[in-house]
């Protein structure tokens, strides 16, 4: 009898070890310890045995039962440790299920990057309306009365107003700078704000020229400040755009609404300043104009130029985005072509 | 403008260790951007002087000769040439293999190789002037004539580079005219030399400004002194039309103009040197021996040197004799009375015309001449002194026998020096550092200012050549000082800080949240379209083009209307993208315009009404599904973007929307926008085929954002809720809103699951499946309670909506 129990144990261990998954193990458990199991049969036959024998067979049976329970538990732990939640075969190289693929326009993305940077410096974000007047687009900004930019070859005037003057001659704004006077008239000085937006020029378009394009302008107005503080704005813009410090240089430039005015060049990122095709072998790329706000502009904003000063920086967003990604045709930005736009997540 | 280094060297001795790279860089940083510099000698590589040792006939061609030529190398080279003026022992121009020449002076340069001509070896080519870029400098009588240095009296040696021989070893700095707009003083080499002298602190040669004395007057009347501030006329006799000396032709060529003849070249040279335009008239053509500067009569005619026949008007200033206009003042000479082949006496004009009139007339006739370019920047009257003096000394040099027989200086308006005071304190503050007084005085003096200092203030007398508008306020002087020190030398200063309050802009934040919601939550792509829009799409959207604000000079005739809605742009974009995509979602946020009155900054300025619109569209196959997608976007918007939820009503159908499927978006009692299927009519008129679209438009000004996030918190249920699904059979006419309204008070949550029509559903009916949750507030529901509640709900649905359980 004891031999038989030993055989049951041996076979049972084998069966447990052979159980390939948790279902099979459960079946083995029933088979080994269930009502119809060999072990149960042994227990049922206990009554017909000698007391001595009954005692030792009983003990051995319980021992085997306990051993089965332990082995099954151990095997179950083993199986869980090596189990996969996925049934059957799986091709891990198949693409994942795509997330919703909407995106902001790459120019909006750039604009928001810059907004974040400037807000961290305490700048306000302002926006001017698309339609302006000659007064705000030119007169306030110290443009000479016969400055060529005022001509319809350069600026989109509205029908019915093109022959009027000043406040009454309306246009799609040719630049953002007019908005600076609007802001200052409303809020006064000191002021620190950025004003991104789309501007319009009557131009022949090609891969590098557009009729509608985006600018990002920043202005600080305060007392007793030097134009060399303007560099912080410039470096903020470039570091945000390119993700690292970029070498810049300021050089002489001229704009009606600044005095002095300067051009800001950045080191060509392709050649590291050594000179290449992209930078016309100069090592530098002109990226933004800037300058000290002209006294006449401050006067237009009802501010006393003897008290207040400040500086502008203006950056062409289209150009920056083109440099950021290597886009080679500015017209793509207004194409609404999803083959283009879907590339920018 | 092309700036010739050789030209500059007449006025300033450049430091010997100065490279052209450095000069370009310094001018770029301090004065004006140098776009590139060109070594004129570069194109003359392998073009050298050759000495013809022997001329032999060509065995196979009568027109060709074999020239044994010394080109400065070890052996004598055999060159085949067809030149008509070959002379033994003369020095000529040889292009060696590797040189690039222009065949017969036309077309692209061609590479010279050693070759055979009619069976005879030819090492290179003996060239005509036009073939080696000398056409403007060396004239020929006939086509086959080659360059003969011996005949021209030019000293040279075999093997010497021809660029060197001809004085063409120059470097040209190229500057964009536009970047010189504000600096009339830089429109001549002398002005650039002055800047260079100031940058490197080296001497600038002085020019004579002496005028002729003691000559008889030549009658000059100025009727318009406001437009002509000064007119000098010098009569010069005993001259003729001949070639200019080589040095002058070369400098004129290098500076970007073409030599013509000595009389004209002198005027052009002076223009390039000091920026004072001049004109020479054939004095025998000046009727009545007098000059009158007057406005043209309407209808008066003038034939220009470039053969353009002008119809003049009363706004055009002309230089006339007693009978007729001779010259379009300051712009271009007349063909009949300027220098002619037969001219032997000239009236030399050196005048100063004021900028506005020149600009108007130039634009009117589209005549952008070198002279007009200078006048339209504003020239000081004193410049004529330099101009006359330089021109007359050139006449004496080139025509030693000439006679100055009359001179007049009619000078009604003199350019006044601007006078500007600038304080040390202002400079210190604005420059951000203290610059020594001696440094400031030195910089300004080198630029031509007269400076005195007293009581902390620099008293500056601005030179006249900067006093025509360029320098007028102390900020201009600040700019001169800053640029000459060099912006790169100023230390970066921290931004001034004045944190009175944090920047909190709910409107700006809302605009961004809306865009980010549509892009990131709703899977839509942001697009940009132009504000002018093809009338085809405006009409397709059912908008009257007459109601649109219009451009005076639109980019194209069909693009004259400015957008009053973003829907037409959506239609155009759907049309474009439908070629590549089967379903997609796009949105745009931009301003649209309506006729009306709006004054953002001052009551005097009245603009059209602007609206900040947010518009989007889903395009694809299943119209109903598209509509519900759009509806879902608008329903979810308020929660994610933090404002009070919208409701929907049918109040006013948007012009672009489907007859049935549209709703207005309501904010309180106001219509904030619309959603709907794009009408079949609009799709068809836009050329969109096999595709449906649903769109929304919202006037974002109507939205009032919460001052901060205002998502409400609800306590979690303490006892479990029971979820039950019901499938109901109802009449088609019964709406979801009615069903929801009927039972919403009986349930904790109610969700629409699906609507179904099909075989098992009788006609006129539909099946609605909904999911609801019920529960007690104070205990777990028993199964009895659940049954009772569900029966109650079903009864209410039967009674109010006629619903039957499926």
**Three-state helix/strand/coil letters over B41-90:** HHHHCCEEEEEEEEEEEECCEEEEEEEEEECCCCCCEEEEECCCCCCCCC
Tell me the chain B residues in contact with residue A186 when contact means C-beta distances shorter than 8 Å.
601
The residue of chain A nearest to residue B506, with distances taken between CA atoms, is A125
Angle at A314 between CA A309 and CA A319, to 5 degrees: 170
Domain locations in chain B as residue ranges: 2-33+176-200, 42-165, 220-410, 419-489, 506-702, 722-805
**Which residues of chain B lie closer than 8 angstroms to A160, CB-CB?**
550, 552
Q: Are B204 and B193 in contact (CB under 8 A)?
A: yes
Nearest chain B Cα to A193, which residue?
Answer: B503
Please indicate whether the domains covering B506-702 and B722-805 agree at the CATH topology level.
no
- pLDDT digits 0-9 by tens, A296-338: 999 999 999 999 999 899 988 998 888 888 888 999 999 999 9
Tell me the CA distances in angstroms from B344 to B236, B246, B339, B340, one per residue in order. 9, 22, 9, 9
Return the residue matching tokens 């550092």. B433
Place of tokens 């088979």: A31
Model confidence at A33, pLDDT cuts 50, 70, 90, reads confident
Report how far Cα B649 is from the mean position of its chain's Cα atoms: 49
Decide: helix, strand or coil at residue B336.
coil
Q: Give the CA angle between residues B511, A176, A305 to the nearest 5°.
A: 120
Whether residue B757 has a cis bond before it, omega within 30° of 0: no
CB contact under 8 A, A186 and B573: no
**Residue B497 pLDDT exceeds 80:** no
With contacts defined as CB-CB under 8 Å, which chain B residues touch A157? 551-553
Token pair of A306 as six digits: 């003897």
DSSP B413-433: --PPPPEEEEEHHHHHHHHSS
Residues facing residue A172 across a β-bridge: A131
The pLDDT value recorded for residue B499 is: 67
Query: Between chains, do B573 and A336 touch, taking CB under 8 Å as contact?
Result: yes
Round to whole Å and give the CA distance between B112 and B98. Answer: 5
Distance CA B334, CA B316 (A): 14
Q: What percent of chain A has pLDDT over 70?
A: 100
Residue B624 scores a pLDDT above 90: yes
Neighbour-count burial for B292-302, b at 16+ CB within 10 Å, e otherwise: bbbbbeeebeb
How confident is the model over B427-478, as pLDDT tens digits?
Answer: 998 888 899 999 999 999 999 999 999 999 999 999 999 999 889 999 999 9
User: CB atoms < 10 A from the CB of A159, how many?
Assistant: 16
Q: Which of B716, B694, B557, B551 is nearest to B627 (CA)?
A: B694
Task: Report chain B residues whose CB lies below 8 A from the CB of A248.
Answer: none
Nearest by Cα to B371 from B464, B276, B258, B303: B276
Question: What is the domain class of B419-489 according to CATH?
Answer: alpha beta
Taking each helix axis as running N to C, give the angle between helix B189-200 and helix B437-446, from 0 to 180 degrees, rounded to the nearest 10. Answer: 160
Question: Which residue of A112, A156, A286 is in closest CB contact with B551?
Answer: A156
For residue range B198-220, what is the model confidence (pLDDT) as tens digits? 999 999 999 999 999 999 999 99
State how far residue B480 is from chain A, nearest Cα, in angstroms.
8
pLDDT tens column, B543-556? 999 999 999 999 99
CA dist A14 and A11 (Å) reads 5
Which of B174, B503, B579 should we substitute to test contact with A (largest number of A Cβ atoms within 10 Å)? B503
Residues B20, B25, B28, CA angle at the centre, nearest 5°? 125
Residues 6+ apart with CB under 8 A from B246: B137, B154, B166, B167
Q: Look up tokens 């931004």; give the residue.
A: B495
CB contact under 8 A, A133 and B607: yes
Mean pLDDT of chain A: 88
Contact B93, B154 (CB under 8 A): no
Residues 287-306 of A with CB under 8 A from B: 292, 294-295
Read off the pLDDT of residues B332-350 as tens digits, 9 standing for 90 and up.
999 988 999 999 999 999 9
Residue B556 sits at the chain A interface (C-beta within 8 Å): no
Determine contact, residues A174/A200, Cβ cutoff 8 Å: yes
Cβ contact B580:A338 at 8 Å:
yes
Over 90: is that where the pLDDT of B409 sits?
yes
pLDDT confidence of residue A271: 82
- The dotted CATH code for B722-805 is 3.30.70.380
Size of interface A-B (CB pairs under 8 A): 242
A294 contacts in chain B (CB < 8 Å): 475
Tokens of B71: 């080109």
pLDDT at B564 over 70: yes
Q: Say if residue B408's pLDDT is above 90.
A: yes
Measured between alpha carbons, how far is B770 from B753 in angstroms, rounded to an integer? 5
The string of pLDDT tens digits covering residues B150-198 is: 988 888 999 999 998 888 889 999 999 888 888 999 999 999 999 999 9
**CA nearest A163 in B: which residue?**
B552
Which residue would you say has higher pLDDT here, B105 or A209?
A: A209
Residue holding tokens 């007859």? B659
What pairs with residue B752 in β-bridges? B770
> What is the C-alpha to C-alpha distance for residues B282 and B343, in angstroms, rounded to an integer?
6
Helix (H) or strand (E) holding A187: helix A178-187
- Residue A188 contacts B, CB cutoff 8 Å: no
- Is pLDDT at A144 greater than 80 in this prediction? yes
Strand partners, A212: A200
Contact B475 A294 (CB under 8 A): yes
* B553·A152 Cβ contact <8 A: yes
Cross-chain CB nearest to B503 (options A103, A119, A131): A119
Quote the minimal CA–CA distance from A122 to chain B in Å. Answer: 6
Provide the chain B residues 733-772 that lie in CB contact (below 8 A) with chain A: none
C-alpha distance from residue B172 to each of B8, B134, B168 (Å): 10, 17, 10
- Using 50, 70 and 90 to split pLDDT, how confident is the model at B751? very high
Is the CB of residue B613 less than 8 Å from the CB of residue B697? yes
Residue B532 clears pLDDT 80, i.e. is over it: yes
Other Cβ atoms closer than 10 A to A243? 10
What letter would DSSP give residue A316? E
ipTM of the complex: 0.85
Q: What is the 3-state secondary structure (H, E, C) of B727-779?
A: EEEEECCCCHHHHHHHHHHHCCEEEEEEEECCCCCCCCEEEEEEEEEECCCCC
CB of B798 closer than 8 Å to CB of B731: no
Q: Strands A284-293 and A308-316: what pairing?
A: antiparallel
Average pLDDT of the residues in B351-376: 93
Q: Taking the domains of chain A in order of start, what are their residue ranges?
A: 2-81, 106-341
CA angle B453, B457, B462 (to 5 degrees): 75
**How confident is the model at residue B456, as a pLDDT?**
93
Using CA atoms, how far residue B287 sits from A73, A186, A217, B196, B322, in Å, is: 127, 64, 59, 46, 6
DSSP H helices, B218-261, are: 246-254
Q: Report the top-level CATH class of A106-341.
A: alpha beta
Q: What CATH class is the domain B220-410?
A: alpha beta
What Rg value do the Cα atoms of chain B yield, rounded? 42
CB of A186 less than 8 A from some CB of B: yes
Establish if A260 touches chain B: CB-CB under 8 angstroms. yes
Cβ distance of A250 and B488 shorter than 8 Å: yes
Degrees, nearest 5: CA angle B15-B16-B19: 85
Do B283 and B346 meet the contact criterion of CB atoms below 8 Å apart? yes
The predicted pLDDT at position B462 comes to 97
Question: In this complex, do A220 and B496 lie within 8 Å of one another by their Cβ atoms?
Answer: yes
CB atoms < 10 A from the CB of A312, how many?
A: 26
Rounded to whole angstroms, the Cα distance separating A33 from A68 reads 8
In the predicted structure, residue B691 carries a pLDDT above the cut 80: yes
Instruction: Classify residue B498 by its DSSP letter.
Output: -
Between the CA of residue A224 and those of A118, A193, A233, B498, B661, what are the distances in Å?
22, 18, 17, 13, 62
**What is the overall mean pLDDT for chain B?**
93
Distance CA(A77)–CA(A85), nearest Å, equals 15
The answer, for B431 touching chain A at a CB cutoff of 8 Å, is yes
> Strand pairing of A191-200 and A124-125?
parallel
Which range has highest mean pLDDT (A170-184, A232-246, A305-319, B497-511)? A170-184
How does residue A97 score in pLDDT terms, banded at 50, 70 and 90? confident
Contacts of A11-19 with CB under 8 Å at 24 or more apart are A12/A39, A12/A64, A12/A68, A12/A71, A13/A67, A13/A71, A16/A68, A16/A71, A16/A72, A16/A75, A17/A75, A19/A75, A19/A79
Cβ <8 Å between A249 and B473:
no
Which class is domain B42-165? mainly beta
**Residues of chain B contacting residue A176, judged by C-beta atoms under 8 Å apart:** none
The pLDDT of B266-281, averaged and rounded, is: 96
Which phi and psi angles does B152 have, rounded to 5°? -80, -5
Contacts of A284 by beta carbon, 8 Å cutoff, 6+ apart: A249, A265, A266, A267, A268, A273
Give the distance between the most distant pair of CA atoms in chain A.
Answer: 129
On whether the B506-702 domain is CATH 3.30.930.10, my answer is yes
């Amino acid at each position: 009898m004891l031999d038989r129990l030993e055989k049951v144990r041996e076979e049972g261990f084998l069966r447990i070890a052979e159980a390939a998954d948790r279902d099979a193990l459960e079946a083995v458990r029933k088979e080994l310890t269930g009502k119809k199991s060999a072990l149960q049969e042994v227990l049922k036959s206990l009554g017909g045995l000698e007391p001595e024998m009954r005692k030792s067979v009983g003990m051995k049976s319980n021992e085997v039962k306990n051993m089965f329970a332990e082995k099954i538990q151990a095997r179950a732990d083993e199986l869980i440790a090596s189990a996969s939640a996925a049934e059957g075969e799986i091709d891990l190289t198949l693409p994942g299920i795509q997330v919703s693929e909407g995106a902001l326009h790459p120019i909006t993305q750039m604009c928001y990057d810059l907004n974040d940077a400037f807000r961290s410096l305490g700048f306000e974000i302002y926006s001017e309306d698309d339609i302006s007047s000659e007064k705000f687009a030119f007169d306030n900004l110290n443009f000479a009365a016969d400055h060529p930019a005022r001509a319809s070859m350069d600026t989109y005037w509205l029908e019915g107003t093109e022959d009027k003057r000043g406040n009454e001659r309306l246009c799609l704004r040719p630049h953002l700078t007019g908005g600076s006077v609007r802001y200052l008239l409303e809020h006064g000085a000191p002021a620190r704000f950025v004003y991104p937006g789309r501007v319009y020029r009557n131009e022949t378009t090609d891969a590098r020229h557009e009729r509608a394009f985006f600018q990002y302008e920043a202005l600080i107005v305060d007392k007793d400040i030097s134009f060399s503080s303007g560099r912080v704005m410039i470096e903020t813009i470039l570091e945000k755009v390119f993700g690292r410090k970029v070498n810049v240089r300021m050089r002489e430039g001229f704009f009606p609404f600044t005095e002095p005015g300067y051009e800001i060049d950045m080191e060509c990122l392709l050649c590291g300043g050594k000179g290449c095709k992209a930078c016309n072998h100069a090592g530098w790329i002109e990226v933004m104009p800037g300058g000290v706000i002209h006294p006449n502009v401050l006067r237009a904003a009802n501010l006393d130029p003897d008290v207040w000063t400040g500086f502008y920086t203006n950056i062409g967003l289209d150009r920056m985005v083109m440099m950021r990604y290597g886009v080679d045709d500015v017209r793509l930005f207004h194409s609404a072509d999803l083959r283009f736009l879907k590339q920018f997540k | 403008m092309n700036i010739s280094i050789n030209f500059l060297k007449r006025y300033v001795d450049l430091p010997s260790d100065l490279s052209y790279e450095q000069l370009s860089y310094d001018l770029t940083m301090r004065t004006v951007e140098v776009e590139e510099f060109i070594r004129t000698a570069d194109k003359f590589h392998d073009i050298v002087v050759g000495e013809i040792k022997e001329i032999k006939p060509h065995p196979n061609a009568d027109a060709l000769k074999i020239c044994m030529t010394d080109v400065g190398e070890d052996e004598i080279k055999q060159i085949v040439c067809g030149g008509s003026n070959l002379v033994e022992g003369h020095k000529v121009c040889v292009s060696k293999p590797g040189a690039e020449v222009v065949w017969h002076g036309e077309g692209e340069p061609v590479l010279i190789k050693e070759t055979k001509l009619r069976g005879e070896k030819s090492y290179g080519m003996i060239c005509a002037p036009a073939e080696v870029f000398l056409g403007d400098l060396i004239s020929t009588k006939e086509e086959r004539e080659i360059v003969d240095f011996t005949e021209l009296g030019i000293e040279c040696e075999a093997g010497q580079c021809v660029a060197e021989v001809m004085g063409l070893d120059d470097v040209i700095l190229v500057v964009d005219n536009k970047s010189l707009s504000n600096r009339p003083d830089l429109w001549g080499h002398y002005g650039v030399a002055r800047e260079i002298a100031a940058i490197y602190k080296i001497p600038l040669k002085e020019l004579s400004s002496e005028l002729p004395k003691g000559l008889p007057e030549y009658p000059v009347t100025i009727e318009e002194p406001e437009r002509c501030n000064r007119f000098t006329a010098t009569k010069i006799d005993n001259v003729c039309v001949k070639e200019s000396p080589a040095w002058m032709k070369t400098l004129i060529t290098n500076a970007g103009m073409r030599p013509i003849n000595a009389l004209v070249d002198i005027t052009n040279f002076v223009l390039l040197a000091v920026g004072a335009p001049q004109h020479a008239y054939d004095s025998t053509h000046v009727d009545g021996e007098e000059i009158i500067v007057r406005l043209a009569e309407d209808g008066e005619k003038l034939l220009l040197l470039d053969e353009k026949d002008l119809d003049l008007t009363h706004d055009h200033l002309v230089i006339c004799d007693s009978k007729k206009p001779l010259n379009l003042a300051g712009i271009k000479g007349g063909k009949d009375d300027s220098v002619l082949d037969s001219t032997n006496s000239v009236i030399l004009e050196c005048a100063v015309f004021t900028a506005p009139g020149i600009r108007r007339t130039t634009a009117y006739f589209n005549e952008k001449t070198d002279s007009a370019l200078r006048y339209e920047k504003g020239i000081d009257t004193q410049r004529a002194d330099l101009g006359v003096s330089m021109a007359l000394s050139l006449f004496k040099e080139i025509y030693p026998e000439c006679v100055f027989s009359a001179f007049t200086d009619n000078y009604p308006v003199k350019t006044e020096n601007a006078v500007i005071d600038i304080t040390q304190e202002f400079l210190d503050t604005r420059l951000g550092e203290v610059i020594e007084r001696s440094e400031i005085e030195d910089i300004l003096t080198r630029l031509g200012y007269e400076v005195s200092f007293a009581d902390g203030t620099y008293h500056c007398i601005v030179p006249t050549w900067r006093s025509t508008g360029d320098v007028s306020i102390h900020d201009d002087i600040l700019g001169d000082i800053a640029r000459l020190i060099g912006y790169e030398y100023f230390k970066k200063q921290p931004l001034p800080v004045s944190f009175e309050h944090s920047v909190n802009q709910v409107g700006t934040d809302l605009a961004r949240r809306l865009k980010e919601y549509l892009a990131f939550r709703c899977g839509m792509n942001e697009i940009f379209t132009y504000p002018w829009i093809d009338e085809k799409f405006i009409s397709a959207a059912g908008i009257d083009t007459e109601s649109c604000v219009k451009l005076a000079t639109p980019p194209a005739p069909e693009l004259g209307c400015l957008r009053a809605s973003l829907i037409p742009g959506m239609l155009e974009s759907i049309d474009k993208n439908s070629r590549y995509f089967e379903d997609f979602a796009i949105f745009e946020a931009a301003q649209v315009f309506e006729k009306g009155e709006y004054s953002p900054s001052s009551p005097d300025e009245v603009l059209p009404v602007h609206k900040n619109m947010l518009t989007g569209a889903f395009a694809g196959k299943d119209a109903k599904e598209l509509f519900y997608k759009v509806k879902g976007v608008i329903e979810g918007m308020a929660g994610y973007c933090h404002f009070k939820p919208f409701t929907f009503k049918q109040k006013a159908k948007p012009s672009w929307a489907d007859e049935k499927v549209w709703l207005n978006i309501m904010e309180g009692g106001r219509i904030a926008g619309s959603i709907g299927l794009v009408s079949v009519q609009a799709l068809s008129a836009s050329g969109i085929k096999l595709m449906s679209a649903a769109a929304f438009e919202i006037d974002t000004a109507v939205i009032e954002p919460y001052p901060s996030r205002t998502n409400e918190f609800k306590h979690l249920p303490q006892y479990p809720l029971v979820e039950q699904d019901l499938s109901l059979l109802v009449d088609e006419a019964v709406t979801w809103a009615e069903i929801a309204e009927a039972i919403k008070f009986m349930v904790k949550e109610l969700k629409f699951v699906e609507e179904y029509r099909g075989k098992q559903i009788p006609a006129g009916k539909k099946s609605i499946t909904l999911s609801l949750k019920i529960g007690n507030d104070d205990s777990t529901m028993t199964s009895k309670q659940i049954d009772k509640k569900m029966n109650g709900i079903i009864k209410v649905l039967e009674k109010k909506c006629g619903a039957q359980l499926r």
